């Protein structure tokens, strides 16, 4: 469990990692007056770890310490939040260095960042209390006072219930299908289930009307789901051939392409993680022109993970990377990945480049991008373990 101000409104939200489950994020909706304090310590203790913060003049005297860790198997954002009253308050900071900072005239619903560089020795007769009145009113053109260099403040915004995105899942009412499978019966020490990673998802214009359609993969026993864009912000399910067949393996990544601008073809990863067999293709092709489901890619020892396409040889045909996610029953041994050349009429294994990807690692993500600016696509892989 960890606390952090995720929405930048001056109060602490909660993040909880659940055992063998998805993480939970809980937003703090408190609207009561509050006061937040951040510290800027001298290097190397730039977060002011060990400093003690005291708030005087509020409803009650409050005190907290900046600590490293302190929650269960986690640590927090180095900010402390206090209840605030309506009267003038004072912040006192006792730094680990023995110095002390005091800010008076503190108001509610503000966040204060206090710099140790402006702190004074407690014994010093030169110690001065800083207040909001000790500002330079000549901040030309800003309409705001310039604050002392040893502390800064800004007004906290009230909690905002709006979000960046709106949940419109009801437009498709999709339910992911995944047959039960006990990973731990095969490898009791696995850190997580590898058989239930959720569906692969892709956007691709399947029907050629110029609008992106939604494709969602399935687990073993389900079917590939295609939702055609109705051009009005909604979707129409498509359940005809070739997507009407039940899949016998979990589907992973999904790529859509058109060979020489022709009809749509979907390349869908097919994982052998559960059955552990090397026969059966590593990918399946959904051909919407012939309404057929093709299984003409060779199998491999590694279970299929991410897919990526690019014209790596400059011949005008897209080539294909097939990532090895894991080796069934042998996690965390490194998995091998494959490269296929597009021939214009099909696919051929790229023996030379595939050799370079032998035991490259447990690939969880792949993308082609021109990293060095030489005009050709480079391959970037994200792996659990890699060399």
Backbone torsions φ then ψ of 116, nearest 5 degrees: -65, -20
Distance CA 116, CA 127 (A): 13
Residue 87 has a pLDDT of 77
Q: Which has the closest alpha carbon to 26: 12, 15, 37, 10?
A: 15
User: Does 8 fall in a domain?
Assistant: no
Residue 31 has a pLDDT of 83
Distance CA 80, CA 69 (A): 14
Distance CA 320, CA 327 (A): 20
Task: Give tens-digit pLDDT for 236-246.
Answer: 999 899 999 99
Domain containing 307 equals: 178-386
Residue 148 has a pLDDT of 41
User: Does 171 fall in a domain?
Assistant: no
Q: Which has the closest alpha carbon to 284: 240, 338, 323, 248?
A: 248
User: Does 348 fall in a domain?
Assistant: yes
Our count of domains for the chain comes to: 1
User: Does 76 fall in a domain?
Assistant: no
| Residues of the chain under the 70 pLDDT cut | 70, 122-162, 387
3-state helix, strand, coil in the chain (%, to 5): 5, 35, 60
- Count Cα atoms within 13 angstroms, Cβ side, for 26: 11
Tokens read off for 61: 């005297």
Residue 123 has a pLDDT of 58
> If you write DSSP's letter for every residue of 4-64 in order, what string do you get?
E-TTSSSS-EEEEPPTTS--EEE-----S-EEEEEEEPSTT-TT-TT-EEEEESSSS-EEE
User: Does 9 fall in a domain?
Assistant: no
Q: Is the dihedral of CA 326, 329, 334, 338 positive or negative?
A: negative
Q: Cis peptide leading into 44, omega within 30 of 0? A: yes
Contact 311, 317 (CB under 8 A): yes
DSSP state of 74: B
Q: Is the pTM of this model over 0.75?
A: no
Residue 201: in which H helix or E strand, if any? strand 201-204
User: Does 311 fall in a domain?
Assistant: yes
User: Does 150 fall in a domain?
Assistant: no
Residue 22 has a pLDDT of 85
Residue 30 has a pLDDT of 83
DSSP state of 142: T
User: Does 187 fall in a domain?
Assistant: yes
16 burial via Cβ count (<10 Å: 0-12, 13-18, 19+): middle
Residue with tokens 């913060």: 53
Helices (H), the chain: 183-186, 351-356
Distance CA 132, CA 122 (A): 21
| Strand bridging mode 151-155 / 347-349 | unpaired
Q: Cis peptide leading into 242, omega within 30 of 0? A: yes
């Amino acid at each position: 469990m960890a606390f952090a101000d995720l929405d930048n409104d001056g109060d602490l939200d909660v993040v909880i990692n659940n055992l063998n489950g998805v993480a939970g994020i809980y937003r703090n909706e408190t609207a009561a007056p509050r006061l937040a304090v951040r510290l800027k310590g001298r290097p190397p203790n730039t977060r002011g770890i060990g400093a003690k913060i005291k708030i005087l003049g509020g409803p009650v005297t409050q005190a907290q310490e900046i600590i490293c860790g302190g929650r269960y198997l986690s640590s927090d954002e180095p900010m402390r939040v206090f209840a605030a009253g309506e009267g003038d308050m004072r912040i006192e900071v006792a730094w680990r260095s023995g110095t002390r900072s005091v800010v008076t005239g503190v108001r509610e619903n503000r966040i204060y960042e206090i710099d140790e560089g402006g702190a004074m020795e407690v014994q010093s007769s030169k110690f001065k209390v800083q207040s909001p009145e000790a500002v330079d009113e000549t901040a030309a053109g800003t309409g705001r006072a310039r604050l002392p260099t040893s502390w800064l403040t800004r007004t906290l915004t009230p909690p905002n219930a709006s979000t960046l995105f709106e949940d419109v899942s009801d437009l498709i009412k999709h339910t992911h299908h995944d047959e039960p499978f006990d990973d731990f019966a095969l490898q009791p020490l696995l850190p997580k289930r590898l058989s239930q990673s959720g569906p692969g998802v892709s956007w691709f214009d399947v029907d050629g009307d110029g609008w992106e359609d939604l494709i969602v993969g399935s687990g073993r026993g389900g079917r590939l789901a295609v939702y055609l864009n109705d051009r009005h912000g909604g979707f129409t399910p498509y359940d005809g051939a070739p997507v009407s067949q039940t899949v016998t393996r979990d589907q992973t990544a999904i790529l859509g392409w058109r060979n020489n601008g022709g009809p749509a073809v979907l390349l869908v990863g097919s994982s052998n993680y559960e059955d552990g067999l090397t026969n059966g293709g590593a990918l399946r092709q959904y051909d919407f022109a012939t309404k057929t489901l093709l299984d003409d890619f060779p199998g491999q020892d590694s279970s299929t993970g991410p897919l990526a396409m690019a014209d790596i040889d400059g011949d005008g045909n897209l080539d294909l990377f097939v990532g090895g996610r894991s080796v069934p029953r042998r996690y965390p041994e490194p998995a091998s990945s494959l490269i296929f050349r597009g021939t214009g009429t099909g696919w051929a294994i790229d023996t030379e480049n595939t050799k370079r990807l032998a035991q490259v690692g447990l690939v969880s993500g792949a993308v082609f991008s021109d990293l060095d600016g030489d005009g050709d696509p480079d391959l970037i892989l994200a792996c659990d373990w890699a060399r």
